[in-house]
Amino acid sequence: MKVAFKTLGCRLNQYETDALAAQFSGNGYEVSEQEEGADVVVVNTCTVTNQSNQKSRYVISHAGRINPGAKMVITGCMAESHAEQLQKKFPEATVINNKGKSGIFHSVDSLIKTGNADLSDKDFDLFSYQSFTEMFHTRSLIKIQDGCDNFCTFCIIPFVRGRAISRPVEQVLQNIREVVAKGAREIVLTGVNISRYESDGVKFSGLVDKILNLEGDFRVRISSIEPDRFDDHFFTLIGHPKLAPHLHLCLQSGSERILLQMRRMYTVKDFMEIVDRVRAVDPKFNFTTDVIVGFPGETEEEFEETMAVARKVGFGHMHIFKYSVRQNTRAQRMADHIPDKVKTERSKRMHALAEELTANYRAPFDNTEQRILVEKWSDGVASGYNDYFVPMQFTSVNKKRNRFEVVQARVKDFEEA
């Protein structure tokens, strides 16, 4: 029996797909990211923007066209927010919300064995995914938290992921011990709002500290994080040999007024203070970010403020989103929505800047000795990311993946700025 997984959206979705795939694999199923020949296709959807919804619908339709005989399971955030619409559009599919996601193996197993998906009211734990390593990603994603209570005015995630909840410290540590024992070399901490992690009196920095003190040859990467709860303890961890010098620190806007309208819980000044404190320890530290352009009421000057902050930080990479209305969020009811033409134009300018900044950031790494976690090997070229999350490549006869190599390397696809 073959189960195919199609995943959209964030690292947390990737983690959950990888964990589910590992569970199927461990129970004798063949797993794949290609829908051809699959008996079951699981689509893990995303709803963070309108485009995410469109992509999710497309992936479901496409999988159905390629493999009409396969049983379809739809889960993830769009299955949470648009369950009825999806069920209506894809009547043969089984739609499972986020709460039931960790129980998908049981649902699909019963679907295959009995013809009916077991969708009983089992209260599946948001953290009851099994440990795994090397499923669809070389990096080992570890879920430490779920849900969000911030209720940013543009964001639908609190409505589809629910209240903030942190995974108990010992569960996280045990999960990491297990994947490191299985050979994981890079641990990526994931969640919806990981800076709000708090369990058993341990906050995010305390958890990271404990993880860094675990035995083993691995590095820890912190995935997307909000800049609203950094304590002094966190800054003492910067420079730790096991902590990758990279943060995906979400800016969203460089305008103080827009940040207030977004109900973000930090100021531009706070953001810059974090950058400055970290770069005082490691001047090459890589900051990547998310930015929304065309938020309701954003003026040309406020957009330029975001461009200016981006230049000042010198982001290594930027995810740029044109603001899109999400139903029932506060921003939906705001005045002065920006015409799509203006949003598109601003997005283009921001993308042009982002490309320039990425090239500028990566240039000093080119042709230098770096520690690289090898993720791919093809035609005598090994590639992967260095500690700073710069994609690198080098010639190698060693085809082995998931190994550290300290080597003189080129930045992947590098062109001089």
Give residues 266-285 in contact with another protein (rule: CB under 8 A): 267, 269-270, 273
Pair of tokens at residue 245: 């010098």
- Tell how strand 286-293 and strand 243-249 pair up: parallel
Q: Smallest distance from the beta carbon of 70 to another protein, in angstroms?
A: 29
Give residues 69-108 in contact with another protein (rule: CB under 8 A): 98-99
Q: What angle do CA 364, 285, 189 make, to 5 degrees?
A: 125
Q: Smallest distance from the beta carbon of 63 to another protein, in angstroms?
A: 27
* Residue with Cβ nearer another protein (84 or 379): 84
The yes or no reply on residue 121 touching another protein (CB under 8 A) is no
Pair of tokens at residue 86: 């999806």
> Would you call 311 exposed, middle or buried from its count of C-beta atoms within 10 A (0-12, 13-18, 19+)?
middle
Q: Smallest distance from the beta carbon of 98 to another protein, in angstroms?
A: 8
The yes or no reply on residue 13 touching another protein (CB under 8 A) is no
The yes or no reply on residue 149 touching another protein (CB under 8 A) is yes
Residue 212, CA distances (Å) to 168, 215, 241, 281 in order: 17, 8, 9, 18
The yes or no reply on residue 260 touching another protein (CB under 8 A) is yes
- Say how far residue 62 (Cα) sits from the centre of its chain: 24
H helices present in 70-168, as ranges: 77-81, 83-89, 104-114, 157-161
What is the widest separation between alpha-carbon atoms in the chain? Answer: 61
* Residue with Cβ nearer another protein (145 or 224): 145
* Residue with Cβ nearer another protein (80 or 109): 80
* Residue with Cβ nearer another protein (65 or 269): 269
Judged by CB under 8 A, which of 261, 347, 383, 393 binds another protein? Answer: 261
* Residue with Cβ nearer another protein (178 or 256): 256
The yes or no reply on residue 162 touching another protein (CB under 8 A) is yes
Q: What is the DSSP string of 225-268?
A: E-TT---HHHHHHTT-TTEEEEEEE--B-S-HHHHHHTT-SS-H
The yes or no reply on residue 126 touching another protein (CB under 8 A) is yes
Residue 376 φ/ψ, nearest 5 degrees: -140, 155
Q: How many of the chain's residues bind another protein (CB under 8 A)?
A: 27
The yes or no reply on residue 146 touching another protein (CB under 8 A) is yes
Q: What angle do CA 287, 51, 301 make, to 5 degrees?
A: 55
CA 230 – CA 226 distance, rounded (Å): 9
* Residue with Cβ nearer another protein (267 or 360): 267
User: Number of H helices and number of E strands within the chain?
Assistant: 13, 19
The yes or no reply on residue 257 touching another protein (CB under 8 A) is yes
Residue 360: strand, helix, or coil:
helix
Q: Smallest distance from the beta carbon of 257 to another protein, in angstroms?
A: 6
Q: Smallest distance from the beta carbon of 252 to another protein, in angstroms?
A: 15
The yes or no reply on residue 134 touching another protein (CB under 8 A) is no
Judged by CB under 8 A, which of 90, 136, 159, 389 binds another protein? Answer: 159
Q: What angle do CA 386, 390, 395 make, to 5 degrees?
A: 65
Q: Smallest distance from the beta carbon of 334 to another protein, in angstroms?
A: 7
* Residue with Cβ nearer another protein (149 or 200): 149
Query: Which of these segments, 18-26, 51-59, 146-154, 309-317, binds another protein (CB under 8 A)?
Result: 146-154
* Residue with Cβ nearer another protein (250 or 373): 250
Of the candidates 288, 251, 287, the one whose C-alpha atom is nearest the C-alpha of residue 266 is: 251
Residue 69 φ/ψ, nearest 5 degrees: -85, -15
Judged by CB under 8 A, which of 163, 241, 301, 416 binds another protein? Answer: 163
Of the candidates 308, 273, 269, 274, the one whose C-alpha atom is nearest the C-alpha of residue 291 is: 308
* Residue with Cβ nearer another protein (103 or 316): 103
Of the candidates 115, 176, 118, 134, the one whose C-alpha atom is nearest the C-alpha of residue 18 is: 134
Give residues 286-345 in contact with another protein (rule: CB under 8 A): 330, 333-334
CB atoms within 10 A of CB 379: 5
Binding site for another protein (CB under 8 A): 98-99, 126, 146-147, 149-151, 153, 158-159, 162-163, 165, 256-257, 260-261, 263, 265, 267, 269-270, 273, 330, 333-334
